[in-house]
Amino acid sequence: MSQTALSTVRLADSSLTSTGSGTRLSTLSPSLFADLERFAKPGTQTELLEVLAACIRHVQPLTLILEHGPTALQLLLFPRQGLFICGIDLSALDPNTMKTLRVTHIEPTLVAAPENLGRFPRTDATRQYPLSPLLWRFALHGARSELLPEIAGPVMYRVSPALTLDRWMADRGLLTTLHALRNTPFSLHELAQRPGFSPERAERLLNGIYLQAGLIISRVHGRPTRASMGSWLRR
């Protein structure tokens, strides 16, 4: 299949362009394309967490090419099935390495979505992993340290009772904090003032909870609503 048919989106110098044409046309949906463009800033590259958030918000499978040191990694995201396919388990990378990963290409995923974690053979190039740990780990340790725009602003937060608090998510101290945050609304400032927290750690934690579809937001002039990331997450 030709590059034109693929309509690959390249992220270079903070602009989204179709490979070979220099235009802004692609086979990504207009809403997803606009979502990704919000993060484009002069002199910066789009970060993986931003693409992950857009992917699951729009529940659209994507194929990414990531810079991983001198090598390139292909990452296939299947938000509806709650899994990703990659040559390595990205959620197991150390925090320093997570911060260095950069997205260089985005394109629609052309292969059929697997039905479960056992359908694809576990070869060196094609391995399946659950998506939830990837979202959580990159929210806490990836390059982006600021709140995602969907949850920023003058708001109060609460952790949803529906959030599954698994052992892989955090140590005992953080799990205790997450349980406590289910009962009382809190602001970003209040979370940052908790023992062991800082403004950056508070923002990262809120991003992580949001990407697990577990954050309840009360805006100044609105009723509390669950900040849902869609139907991709199967509990």
DSSP per-residue codes, 17-52: EETTT-SS--SS-HHHHHHHHTT--TT----HHHHH
Strand boundaries in the chain, DSSP class E: 9-12, 15-18, 62-68, 71-78, 83-86, 102-108, 127-130, 155-159, 215-219, 225-226
Q: In angstroms, what is the C-alpha Rg of the chain?
A: 18
**How many domains are contained in the chain?**
2
Would residue 112 count as lying in a domain?
yes
Q: Could you tell me if 134 and 172 lie in one domain?
A: no
Give the per-residue pLDDT at 8: 42
Answer yes or no: is pLDDT of 1 > 50.
no
232 domain-assigned? no
Residues 68 and 173 in one domain: no
How far apart are the C-alpha atoms of 149 and 107, rounded to whole Å?
Answer: 23
Does 138 have pLDDT greater than 60?
yes
| Residue at 234 is within a domain | no
- 132 assigned to some structural domain: yes
Residue 231 resides in a domain = no
pLDDT tier, 197 (very low <50, low <70, confident <90, very high otherwise): very high
Helix, strand, coil percentages, rounded to 5, for the chain:
30, 20, 45
Give the end of a domain, one of 78, 106, 141: 141
Is residue 126 within 8 Å of residue 111, measured between CB atoms?
no
Helix, strand, or coil here: 71? Answer: strand
3-class DSSP assignment, residue 16: strand
Of 93, 110, 141, the last residue of a domain is: 141
Same domain? For 117 and 158 the reply is no
> In angstroms, rounded to a whole number, what is the distance separating the alpha carbons of residues 60 and 28?
9
Q: Is the same domain home to 116 and 194?
A: no
Taking alpha carbons only, the member of 70, 75, 85 closest to residue 122 is: 85
pLDDT of residue 194: 92
> Any idea which residue has 């698994």 for tokens?
166
Domain boundary among 141, 164, 188: 141
Claim to verify: residue 102 and residue 209 sit in the same structural domain: no
What is the DSSP code (8-state) at residue 150?
G
Tell me if 80 sits within 8 A of 113, measured CB to CB.
yes
The residue with tokens 């937060």 is 157
Judged on CB neighbours under 10 Å (0-12, 13-18, 19+), 99 is: middle
Whether 21 and 126 share a structural domain: yes
Same domain, 127 and 164: no
The pLDDT value recorded for residue 110 is 83
Tell me, yes or no, whether 156 and 67 share the same domain. Answer: no
Q: Are residues 133 and 183 in the same domain?
A: no
Q: Residue 175: what pLDDT?
A: 83
Given a contact cutoff of 8 angstroms between Cβ atoms, the answer to whether 189 and 197 are in contact is no
What was the pLDDT predicted at 18?
40
pLDDT of 123 above 60: no
153 and 102, same structural domain? no
Q: Is residue 77 part of a domain?
A: yes
Point out which residues pair with 235 in neighbouring strands.
Answer: none
Asked if 17 and 115 sit in the same domain, the reply is yes
Statement to judge: residues 177 and 68 lie in one domain: no
Q: How confident is the model over 133-159, as a mean pLDDT? A: 94
How does pLDDT run across 19-76, given as a tens digit for each residue? 332 223 357 888 888 888 777 665 567 789 999 999 999 999 999 999 988 889 999 9
Q: For residue 42, what pLDDT is reported?
A: 58
Tally of CB atoms within 10 A around 25? 11
Give the per-residue pLDDT at 118. Answer: 53
Candidate from 107-111, 150-154, 167-171 with smallest mean pLDDT: 167-171
Note whether residue 20 is domain-resident. Answer: yes
For the chain, percent of residues with pLDDT exceeding 70: 74
Question: Whole domain around residue 134: which residue ranges?
Answer: 3-141
What is the Cα–Cα distance from 195 to 145, expressed in whole angstroms? Answer: 19
Within a domain: 235: no
Reported pTM: 0.80
